[in-house]
Every structure is written in C-alpha cells, then in structure tokens.
C-alpha cells in the first residue's frame, strides 16, 4: 500500500504546493506550525478540496481534479485521529468505538481479517473505560479512544494529526509505544503530522519535510535525519541521526549491550530480549569527535566511523559520519574542525555522551 | 370518571370551543411546520448561499410585520381567489380562508420565526468538527445528521416546538384578519377573549381564558429555557 499526494492550493496569503509518495509504514509530515501539514492531511481526508491535485491510495483515486474525481470523506476508507480527539459527547466510549465499525465495509480487506474489537481494546488498554462518557476521560484516555475508534472503522489508511499535542511528556511517552505497535503489527499505512522532531525520529519510516507550504524534502527517515544539509531546517538543536542497534546481552551491572555498525554500545537497562532490534537516536550535540581512540575516558560508547561529509556554516560544522551503511551526525565548532584537520574519508572516533541514548528516544523497529 | 376530571367541564361551552380549537390549531401548526423549521434552521446555520439574507429576512418578517398585514397577505395569497388559494381549491378542494385550517396556516407562519430561531441556535452550538469526524468514520451526510447532529440538538428542536406551540396558542392579529372570528369555526382563544371584552361586563368571562393564556406562555418559556440549557449540557457531554 502506498499513498501518492500531489496538490496545490491557494489560501489567502499562503500557497500550498506539495508532492510526495508515502511508502508502507509510518510517514511523518514534519514542519513548523503554519507550514501546511494539517492542510495536506485534510486534503487526503477530503475535508479540504484543493484547487488542483491528485491523491491516490494504491489503485484507488481519492482525488483527481483533472478528471473531476473527488471522493467524499465517508467513501475514502480512512481513519482520522484528530488533534482534539473529537469523541461524540452523547455516546459512551464503547458506542464511540462502535461508531466507525458500524459504517466499515463488512468484507475485511486486511490480511488478519480486519480489526477485532477485543484486540484493539486490549492493544490500547480501553477495557476499564468502555462505559464512561468522553467528558469523564483524561486527555490521554481520549487520545487512545480516538485511535481505537479510527482503527475499528477498518481503514485503508490512518491519518494522525498531532494526536498527542495536548498531552504532557509523561503521557506522550506512555502512548508512543502504541503507535509503534500499530506501525509494526498492522498493515495500515500511517500519515502522521508532527512538529516534534524527537517524535518523528522515533516513529517515522519516511519523512516529508514541509516548509512554508512546500515539500522541502521527502525520503527514508534514516537518510533525512543524517543529512547535514537538512539539519538546519529540522532545527539544529533537535537534529540527530538514528541508528539501528541489536541487543546482544544484558550485563550484570545493569547495562544493556547493543551492537551497532560502529561497534558495541551500552545503555541503561532496556528490558528486551537479546536479538531485539532497537532504533536509537543520537543528537548532533551529543557527539564528541577524536582522531585516535581515546583512552582513560569515562564515556563508554565510542564508535569508529569514517567521515563522509563536512558542512561548514557560520555557527559551526556539521560532520556526517559513516558507520557501515548507516550515518551519524555530529556538530562541532569550526575551530575544532580546523584543529583536528578533519577531511572526508578520514577515520575518526565518535564519543557518544551517555545521555544521548535516553530511553524515550529508543524505539522498537 | 368524575365530572371535574374532564377539562370541558371547567369551562362554559363557548369557552371550551375556543380552547379546544386553539389546541387543535396549535398542534397542527407546530407539527406541520417542524420539518420545514428544522430544514430552514439548518440552511441558515450551516449553509452559505446567494440570497441567504433574503431567506433570513422572509423567515423573520412575521415577527416584525404588523400581524394584520401578515393576515392580509395570507388572504391575498391563500384566499379562495388568491394566487395560491385558487389552485388549492381547484386541485385539492382545500379552502383555507375563514376555515380552521386557515387558522393553522396563520399560526404556523406567525410561530415560524421563533421555532427557527431556537433550532438554529442549537445547530450553531454543535461543532462542525464532530460532524467531520463522523464523515471520516464512514458516515454519509444523512447518517451524520441522524446519528450525531440530531441527537445533540434534540432538546433544541423540542424547545423550538414548544415556543411555536405557545405562540400559536396566542396568535390573534393574522388569524382574525385571515380567517375572521367565527365561534366554533375560527374563534381561537385570543379571538374569544377579544369577543368577550367587546361586551359590557364580559371581563369576568374573559378572565379564565386570560389565565390560561398566561399559564401556557409562562410554561412554554420556562420549558424552552430548560431545554436550551439541555442542548448545551448535551454538547459538553455532562
């Protein structure tokens, strides 16, 4: 299942001109507020009718302004999780959940035979809430019910517009694993709007970066996050590459040992079995470079890498490092870059401060 | 059943005829105009179209226009020789002028603005985002209306109907102009009060009907206020 979107729309004082293809998995629409993310997702949902455009999901044309095709929202077979949950106030939680199911096509299109009510309830932990009214729910509970309601409508595509924007960090950390499970265990592609890079880095398979209504870049998440040219637009402080790491052992001193392409790393205990693949994110600020393998250092995580690219700018240097097929991004001062005489092709050692691999930035994949 | 239990025994036959006619007229006027009232309220609350101000003006016109003018216009349009009335007579054998059916039309027209106003306010209180959400879940616009909008605004619809009913019970000017004041035929409760007051010493006879009018109006206002609050509570979900 893939989604292809090409559209242009003229708002008063704002032009939207977007073009991208979303592959299976989770596609994040990333950009500052006002960059047009919600307009794009609304166009996919059929809530915004663009001046010109073509949106196709697999073989179904949702919109084609040239052929005068414009499926109304209720025929598009999508589940939309809104920023503000939008639960029906006159219905209980279980009636809200059943609402989409009532209108869902009776012939399941999914490999697993369509969404099963009990499975979704378990997945999202909704059992205790079923007889409550939406007003009696907390923000996090509302979000979970909204996700459940969307899933139970048996959608061919799941749209999520900053579903956790209204929640504090603790709640968000509680809910992000649900999204990861959805991404990995259901076959439904997800289009996910966010302006939080950490969230995107953790969840996205594909990233589409929007800037002032235009597609700045679109591509695989790992490539875009490790691109020194893109880092300034993502926000230099939040930027950072993601690596795939495999858990190799649980050490007796409470650390978990993982294998990466740049060598072993150790993280505070992560309760998963050896062999599990994790996505780890290392912020550009949290990498120190050395030309020789440093000794007598308290830092545990030192990765061997090859410099693949150097980008100098007024406020510093961004160094892209190759670790086998993967990339890491480091930000150092220009003075350090000159002092170390760094150049592409050179072998360096990246010292990763242990804070860089915080638990919340570690995601399953 | 004891005699006092039958409302007809509370009144003189003249009075009872007027009260019973007013009840019948008001029930029919409310019931017949309700679907159109809901449709018009929805149109005004949710749609943008050319001439919306004109429709809005026409709906509210009877509220401001002298009732005698409304009655006269009804007579011109729906009288036996009126430009609509003559066809109603020819095709359906339906005559409105000087009949109780005409009183229904007059009451419906006069009560319509109040009904539409109450229902329109209920529509405007419903967040269209909820209806959008229902659409993305696969509900067609008709289903969205039936399963989301209608349940949320139901108290508002009842409030509109109650107000319209009370207004119809009290309608006088347009009714007397359009269908006159024929005892047993078109003499509604206000017309009966008017007739009693024309006769020296008729005050005492009018008194009970006056009380009924006050009671109906007061009850309707309290009930509609209560129902309007119910819409707000329902939408907030408390």
Which backbone phi and psi does B187 adopt, to 5 degrees? -85, 95
Residue B4's pLDDT band (boundaries 50, 70, 90)? low
Count of domains for chain A: 2
Rounded to whole angstroms, how far apart are CA atoms A149 and A126?
A: 11
Strands A26-30 and A206-211: parallel
Q: Could you tell me if A97 and A221 lie in one domain? A: yes
Q: Is the pLDDT of residue B71 over 90?
A: yes
Mean local confidence (pLDDT), B141-151 = 93
Q: Find out whether A28 and A206 touch, Cβ atoms under 8 Å.
A: yes
Show residues of chain B in contact with A99, CB under 8 Å. Answer: 134, 137, 139, 147
B12-236 CATH choice from 3.60.10.10, 1.10.3720.10, 3.90.25.10, 3.90.1200.10: 1.10.3720.10
User: pLDDT at position A86, please?
Assistant: 92
Torsion of CA A286, A291, A293, A295, to 10 degrees: -80
Q: Could you tell me if A107 and A205 lie in one domain? A: yes
Mean local confidence (pLDDT), B73-102 = 88
Strand partners, A160: A81, A192
Mean pLDDT is lowest, of A15-19, A120-124, B70-74, for A120-124
Q: Could you tell me if A219 and A249 lie in one domain? A: no
User: pLDDT at position A357, please?
Assistant: 46
Mean pLDDT is lowest, of A8-22, A237-251, B98-112, for A237-251
Dump the DSSP string for B24-78: HHHHHHHHHHHHHHHHHHHHHHH---TTHHHHHHHHHHHHHS-HHHHHHHHHHHH
Mean local confidence (pLDDT), B136-165 = 92
Residue A299's pLDDT band (boundaries 50, 70, 90)? confident
Say whether residue A89 is in contact with chain B using an 8 A CB cutoff: yes
Say whether residue A47 is in contact with chain B using an 8 A CB cutoff: yes
* A236 compared with B194, residue with greater pLDDT: B194
- Of all residues in chain B, the one with the smallest CA distance to A150 is B137
Rounded to whole angstroms, how far apart are CA atoms A162 and B121?
A: 31
Token reading at B8: 């007809």
CATH code for position A37: 3.40.50.300
User: pLDDT at position A114, please?
Assistant: 58
Which residues contact residue B233 at a Cβ distance below 8 angstroms, ignoring those fewer than 6 apart? none
- Put simply, the answer to whether A99 touches B234 (Cβ < 8 Å) is no
Token reading at A337: 């870059």
Mean local confidence (pLDDT), A17-21 = 91
Domain boundary among A191, A225, A259: A225
User: pLDDT at position B65, please?
Assistant: 94
Q: Could you tell me if A274 and A192 lie in one domain? A: no
Say whether residue A149 is in contact with chain B using an 8 A CB cutoff: yes
Strand partners, B225: none
Which of A47, A88, A103 is facing B130, going by the closest CB pair? A88
DSSP state of A315: T
Q: Could you tell me if A262 and A139 lie in one domain? A: no
Dump the DSSP string for A6-64: EEEEEETTEEEEEEEEEPSSEEEEE--TTSSHHHHHHHHHTSS--SEEEEEETTEEEEE
User: pLDDT at position B103, please?
Assistant: 94
User: pLDDT at position A363, please?
Assistant: 39
The domain of A302 spans 240-364
Greatest CA span in chain A, whole angstroms? Answer: 69
User: pLDDT at position A358, please?
Assistant: 38
Share of chain A above pLDDT 70, in %: 93
Instruction: Tally the C-alpha atoms within 13 A of residue A237's C-alpha that lie toward its C-beta.
Output: 1
Q: Could you tell me if A77 and A194 lie in one domain? A: yes
Please state the separation of Cα B95 from the chain's center in Å: 20
Closest CA to B194 of A123, A174, B185, B183: B183
* A236 compared with A319, residue with greater pLDDT: A319
**In-domain check, residue A72:** yes
For residue A363, give the H/E element and its range: strand A363-364
Q: Find out whether A19 and A215 touch, Cβ atoms under 8 Å.
A: yes
Share of chain B above pLDDT 90, in %: 57
User: pLDDT at position B24, please?
Assistant: 93
Q: Could you tell me if A113 and A210 lie in one domain? A: yes
Show residues of chain A in contact with B235, CB under 8 Å. Answer: 89
Mean pLDDT is lowest, of A198-207, B2-11, B179-188, B227-236, for B2-11
Which residues contact residue A76 at a Cβ distance below 8 angstroms, ignoring those fewer than 6 apart? A45, A46, A57, A62, A157, B136
DSSP state of A182: H
User: pLDDT at position A361, please?
Assistant: 37
Q: Is the pLDDT of residue B113 over 90?
A: yes
Rounded to whole angstroms, how far apart are CA atoms A165 and B165?
A: 47
The string over A292-329, giving b where at least 16 C-beta atoms fall within 10 Å of a residue's C-beta and e elsewhere, is: eeeeeeeeebbbebebbbebeeeebbbbbbbbeebbbb
Nearest-CA distance B130 → chain A (Å): 6
* A166 compared with A362, residue with greater pLDDT: A166
Q: Could you tell me if A29 and A103 lie in one domain? A: yes
* A30 compared with A234, residue with greater pLDDT: A30
User: pLDDT at position B132, please?
Assistant: 92
Torsion of CA B227, B233, B234, B238, to 10 degrees: -140
Tell me the helix, strand and coil percentages in chain A, rounded to 5: 25, 35, 35
Q: What is the mean pLDDT of chain A?
A: 85
User: pLDDT at position A23, please?
Assistant: 82
Domain boundary among A225, A255, A275: A225
Token reading at A4: 């292809």
Distances (CA, A) of A342 to A337, B47, B60: 6, 65, 80
Residue spans of the domains in chain B: they are 12-236
Mean local confidence (pLDDT), A122-126 = 83
Predicted-complex ipTM score = 0.79
User: pLDDT at position B1, please?
Assistant: 55
Residue A238's pLDDT band (boundaries 50, 70, 90)? confident
Nearest-CA distance A73 → chain B (Å): 5
Domain boundary among A193, A225, A257: A225
Show residues of chain A in contact with B134, CB under 8 Å. Answer: 88, 99
A78-111 residue pLDDT tens: 899 998 889 999 999 999 999 988 887 665 544 4
Q: Could you tell me if A167 and A299 lie in one domain? A: no
Q: Could you tell me if A249 and A139 lie in one domain? A: no
Closest CA to B183 of B44, B18, B69: B18
Mean local confidence (pLDDT), B35-44 = 95
**Residue the block writes with tokens 């300034």:** A232
Q: Is the pLDDT of residue A184 over 90?
A: no
Token reading at A238: 């939040």
Q: Is the pLDDT of residue A140 over 80?
A: yes
Residue B123's pLDDT band (boundaries 50, 70, 90)? very high
**In-domain check, residue A231:** no
Token reading at A169: 């960090």
Which of A90, A102, A150 is facing B237, going by the closest CB pair? A90
Q: Is the pLDDT of residue A362 over 60?
A: no
């Amino acid at each position: 299942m893939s989604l292809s979107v090409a559209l242009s729309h003229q708002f008063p004082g704002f032009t939207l001109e977007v073009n991208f293809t979303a592959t299976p998995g989770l596609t994040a629409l990333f950009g500052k507020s006002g960059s047009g993310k919600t307009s794009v997702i609304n166009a996919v949902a059929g809530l915004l009718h663009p001046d010109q455009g073509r949106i196709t999901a697999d073989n179904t044309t949702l919109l084609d302004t040239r052929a005068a095709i414009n499926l109304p929202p209720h025929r598009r077979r999508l589940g939309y999780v809104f920023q503000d949950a939008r639960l029906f106030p006159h219905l209980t939680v279980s009636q809200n959940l059943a609402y989409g199911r009532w209108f869902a096509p009776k012939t399941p299109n999914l490999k697993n035979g369509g969404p099963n009510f009990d499975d979704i309830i378990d997945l999202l932990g909704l059992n205790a809430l079923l007889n409550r009214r939406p007003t009696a729910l907390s923000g996090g509970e509302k979000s979970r019910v909204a996700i459940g309601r969307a899933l139970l409508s048996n959608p061919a595509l799941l749209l999520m517009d900053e579903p956790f924007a209204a929640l504090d960090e603790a709640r968000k950390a509680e809910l992000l694993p649900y999204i990861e499970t959805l991404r990995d265990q259901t076959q439904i592609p997800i289009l996910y709007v966010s302006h939080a890079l950490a969230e995107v880095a953790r969840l996205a398979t594909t990233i589409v970066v929007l800037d002032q209504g235009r597609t700045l870049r679109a591509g695989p998440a790992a490539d875009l996050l490790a691109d020194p040219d893109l880092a300034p637009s993502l926000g230099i402080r939040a930027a950072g590459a993601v690596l795939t790491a495999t858990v190799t052992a649980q050490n007796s001193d409470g650390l978990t040992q993982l294998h990466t392409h740049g060598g072993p790393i150790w993280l505070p205990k992560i309760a998963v079995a050896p062999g599990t693949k994790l996505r780890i994110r290392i912020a550009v600020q949290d990498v120190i470079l050395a030309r020789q393998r440093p000794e007598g250092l308290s830092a545990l995580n030192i990765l061997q890498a090859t410099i693949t690219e150097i980008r100098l700018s007024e406020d510093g240097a961004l160094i892209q490092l190759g670790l086998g097929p993967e990339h890491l991004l480091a930000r150092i001062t220009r003075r350090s870059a000159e002092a170390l005489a760094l150049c592409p092709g050179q072998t360096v050692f990246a010292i990763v401060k242990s804070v860089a691999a915080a638990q919340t930035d570690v995601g399953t994949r | 059943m004891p005699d006092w239990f039958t409302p007809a025994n509370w009144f003189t036959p003249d009075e009872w005829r007027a009260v019973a006619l007013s009840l019948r007229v008001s029930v029919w006027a409310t019931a017949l105009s309700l679907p159109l009232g809901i449709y018009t309220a929805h149109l005004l609350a949710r749609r943008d179209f050319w001439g919306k101000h004109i429709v809005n003006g026409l709906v509210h016109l009877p509220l401001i226009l002298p009732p005698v003018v409304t009655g006269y216009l009804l007579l011109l349009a729906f009288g036996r020789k009126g430009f609509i009335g003559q066809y109603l007579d020819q095709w359906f054998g339906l005559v409105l002028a000087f009949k109780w059916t005409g009183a229904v039309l007059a009451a419906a027209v006069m009560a319509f603005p109040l009904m539409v106003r109450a229902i329109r306010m209920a529509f405007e209180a419903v967040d269209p985002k909820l209806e959008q959400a229902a659409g993305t879940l696969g509900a067609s616009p008709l289903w969205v209306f039936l399963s989301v909008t209608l349940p949320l605004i139901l108290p508002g619809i009842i409030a509109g109907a109650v107000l319209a009913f009370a207004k119809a019970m009290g309608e006088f000017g347009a009714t007397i102009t359009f269908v006159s004041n024929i005892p047993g035929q078109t003499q509604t409760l206000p017309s009966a009060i008017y007739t009693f007051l024309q006769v020296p010493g008729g005050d005492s006879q009018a008194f009970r009907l006056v009380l009924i009018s006050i009671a109906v109006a007061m009850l309707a206002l309290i009930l509609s206020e209560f129902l309007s609050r119910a819409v707000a509570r329902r939408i907030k979900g408390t």
